[in-house]
Every structure is written in structure tokens, then in C-alpha cells.
Amino acid sequence: MKNRLWGKRVLAIVATATLALPLIAGCTASENTDNEQRVLRVATLWGGQDDSYFRQQFTDAFELTHKNVTVEIVPAVDQGSMYGFGNSEQPNEMPDTMESLKKIMTGDNPVDVVVADTTTIKSLIQENMVKQLDPLMQEDKFDTSDIVPSVLEGIKDLGDQNIYALTPTFSSSALFYNKGMFEKAGVEPPTDNMTWDDIFNLATRLTKGEGKDHVFGMAFTTYSGGSPYYSMQQYYNSLQLKVFDDKAEKMTVDSPQWEKVWSTVSKLAIDKVIPKGDEPQNQQTEGRYDPVQGDLFLSGKTAMAIGDYNYINQLIDANKNADKMKDFTKIDWDVVTPPVHPEAPEIGGNIYLSSLMAINSSAQNPDDAWELIKYMNSEDWAKIKARSSYELVSRKSFIKPKDGLDYNIQAFYTLKPVPPTNTNLDKLYQKMPGLWQVSDKGMEYFNQVLENKKTPKEALGEWAAKGNEMLAKLKKDPKATFQ
């Protein structure tokens, strides 16, 4: 599981959309009037020989409008170092990104800007390694009124209500629903800010049919197949439940909160309100490519599903090409905010701030560092980047529905992101590579609940006991692995 999480962070840092250079040339960002040539060093968590994608998203436009500044991209970890990772014949350790980042932020030639995610930035704030931006923003009268409030509040949550970083883009998710299914069932569709219990009640009312004609009321993801063990994280993330304590010494799953989560989700799966993961998959026929195969929402197998912002592209493409696909009918859809828990009514939706930009406290060129951050978070840049199909820009004036459609775009940015709790988690996984197996072990016990072999309380108790054994072994031998 850890590798998947790392993969997500790496992709979130380097995945980009190509910018339209002719438009960039017309931007009106201020330029330095002196002839002094300066270097601005920008740190990323990961990078490789080819940094063109990163430059296209973050620095090309800045260099074109600030001709006296040359940007150097400095990755904390070279992706080339991962070649051969996991090869038993040549064992090597997962690079410690945080320690690697600290090295390039200090020393004789420190970087000026750091581009990273919330967990990393929070760690740097706690260690006083990045500058507070509030004084600079006040001095330059930098306007934040157009920045998505939930994004700005999420940033402030990292630094005790102070601003240490800004992000030009963010990713998010929302609850997609099939308007036609609700209308046909005579049920009022979901609305923003509904609780999980509200949505589960609606899902129960929309569940219908048997066998291949069965329709789920809801799914935690648009993709079919697989146990809900991982996808149900959508349900409990905002509760900030932990599998083990911050030192990875003791399991924390044997608790009433965890029992409620497992009881709720397992019952929904057993009652076929949500996918259980063992449903038969439709087979591709006659060698034809079927773009809706494996997609619960597009195939009409669920009335509601949580999907990322970029899922809109698939819906638009499918509806545009409906006449070319056998047995496919256009879907009349809309979105609302992901469900929330009463304990955390403002948090949810997997808002992910992966491109936070901060100034190194030891920056050699702090002035140009601030100029870069200002430009990347300006209206000029937002206007260009708003064309992206994969992320949303942080300035809400430029967040608009695609293709002239009319859907609830605000659903993607109304809720606040889940604040990071344990900034030491990455270091624990690097120190103990087998730690992910402790979390993965839970799926074995959760599936026993789905099979009615154990109650949630029994299964969680056994997972806690087994997990404590595994944690004890890892404490003695951090490189231990498990069968």
C-alpha cells in the first residue's frame, strides 16, 4: 500500500498539462528592469533527467516573463536511484525524501523554493525551515480574496493560521449522481453537505435488481472490482482514524470508532447497497474496446459514485460518443459535495494540495523566490492553467464548468482538506518497509466480516493482536517482512 501512496505523491508532483506558450508570451506579469542575471533554485521531492514536464507547469512561464532569472530544478531524490529497488539480489533502502530535502535546503548552495505536499510542508514549518509569507503578502498587498477559501484555510491549518506556502492548483473529488435514476425512482437527489448516513439512506432506496441487472445505490469509487477495504478510506479519512500510533508501536484499530466504520460499510456491502468486490465482471465481446467496461457509473451499475475532478472528462467523452457505443445511453449527471461526518462537517472530498510552494528559510535568492510564488498564484497564470483537465486552479474566478455544461462545480472545492496528523509517517515507512503489511493485513480480517465469518468487533480485535505482533517484530528488526 505504501508504494501506491508514494506513487500517488510522485505522480501528483510531476504530472502536468502542456501550457500554451503563445498565451504565456502575452502575460502581463511584472519583469525585473535591471540586467543582473540571477539563478533561482527550485526543489522538488522527486525528479529525473528530464524535467520538462515540471518546467511546463511551474517555471517556463515565469522565465519568459522574468528574463533575468534562470531556474534550476533540484530534485531531493533522483528517480534513477529507484532502479533495482526491491531486487533481492541487490537490496537497497527506500530513499528518505525528507532527509534528502533537508540536505538541499541547507549547506553551501541551498535551494530557494520548495514545491511539496501538505505533509512535507507541515514538517518544514515545524522545524522552522520555511519562511512565513504573511509579511510579504501584506507588503505587496497580495490579494487572497479570490483564492478558494477551503484551500486557503487548509494552508493556514498547516501553520497555526499563518501562511507559509501557496498553491496554484489542487485536486479534489465529489459525489457524482445519475439524475435519471433518482427521477425514475421518485427519490429526491442528494444535495451539498449531506452526511454519510443521509447518503447511505438514499443509496439504500436506489438499490434495485438482481444478478446482472443489479444496480448499487452508491460506490466509493467509479471502478468495479476489489474489496471495499481500501476504497472505504473515503468514508473514514476525515475522522483521522489511525491503524497504529505515531511511533508504530501499538495498534489502534480495536476501538468503537473503527468498529462503527467496519459495521457500517460491511452491512452496506452484504446488503448489496455498495459493491462487495466479488461481483462478476462483464466480459469484453467481439474484440471491441468498451470504454464503459469496469466503470460502475458509466455502465449504469450505481446511482452514485465518488470520483475525481478529471472523471468529468470521461463523462463528457462518453456522452459525446454515445451513438458509437452499443447499449450505452447518455447519462444525465450532476455532482454534490462528498458526504461529511457530523464530527467534521467542513472536512472531506480528498482535496489534495500537492504543489504547495514555500520559500526556504536559508534561501540565497528569497526575492525571486517570492516573485515566482506570486506569479504562479496570479490571475494571469490561473487564466492559462484553468484549461487543465486534471486539476483545479486555486483562484475560484477561473473555475468554471467544462464544455459549456451546467453542473455544480463548487462541489469540488467547498469542503476543507483533511489536515495531516502524523508528519513522521513517511519516515516510519522508510525505516520499516514491512510496515505497510500491517495495514494490508486488515483486509484479510475485513473480508472475513464480509463473509459473515466474524463480527467487526472480533475481526478488529484479531487484527489488533496480530498487528501488535508484527509491530513488535519490526521494532526488533526494522527490515523484517511477513508472509
Q: Give the Å distances, CA to CA, from 423 to 64, 310, 354, 357, 470.
A: 36, 28, 15, 18, 22
| Alpha-carbon gap, residue 360 to 113, rounded angstroms | 6
**Range with the poorest average pLDDT among 162-166, 275-279, 344-348, 372-376:** 275-279
* pLDDT-based confidence at residue 10 (cuts at 50, 70, 90): very low
Q: Give per-residue burial for 66-98: e unless 16+ CB within 10 Å, then b.
A: beebebebbbbbeeeebeeeeeeeeeeebbbbb
Instruction: Categorize the per-residue pLDDT at 12 as very low, low, confident or very high, splitting at 50, 70 and 90.
Output: very low
In the CATH scheme, what is the code of domain 2-171+351-399?
A: 3.40.190.10
Give yes or no for residue 361 having a pLDDT over 80.
Answer: yes
pLDDT for 284: 56
Q: How far is CA 100 from CA 48, 289, 469, in A?
A: 15, 44, 32
CATH topology match: 2-171+351-399 vs 173-336: yes
Give pLDDT tens digits for 121-158. 999 999 999 999 999 999 999 999 999 999 999 999 99
At 426 the pLDDT is: 79
When the pLDDT of each residue in the chain is averaged and rounded to a whole number, the result is: 88
Share of the chain above pLDDT 90, in %: 72
Whether 107 and 363 have beta carbons less than 8 Å apart is answered as no
Which range of 318-322, 424-428, 469-473 scores highest in mean pLDDT? It is 469-473
The C-alpha atoms of residue 303 and residue 225 are separated, in whole angstroms, by 17
Over 70: is that where the pLDDT of 13 sits? no
Q: Which of 67-76, 111-120, 143-152, 272-281 has the lowest mean pLDDT?
A: 272-281
CATH domain 173-336 topology:
D-Maltodextrin-Binding Protein; domain 2 (3.40.190)
pLDDT at 317: 93
Res 24 pLDDT > 50? no
Q: What is the DSSP string of 264-328?
A: HHHHHHHTTSS--S-PPPPPP-TT---TTTTBTTTTTSBSEEEEETTHHHHHHHHHHTGGGSTT-
pLDDT at 96 over 60: yes
Helix (H, G, I), strand (E, B) or coil at 36: coil
pTM, 2 dp:
0.87
Domain layout of the chain by residue ranges: 2-171+351-399, 173-336
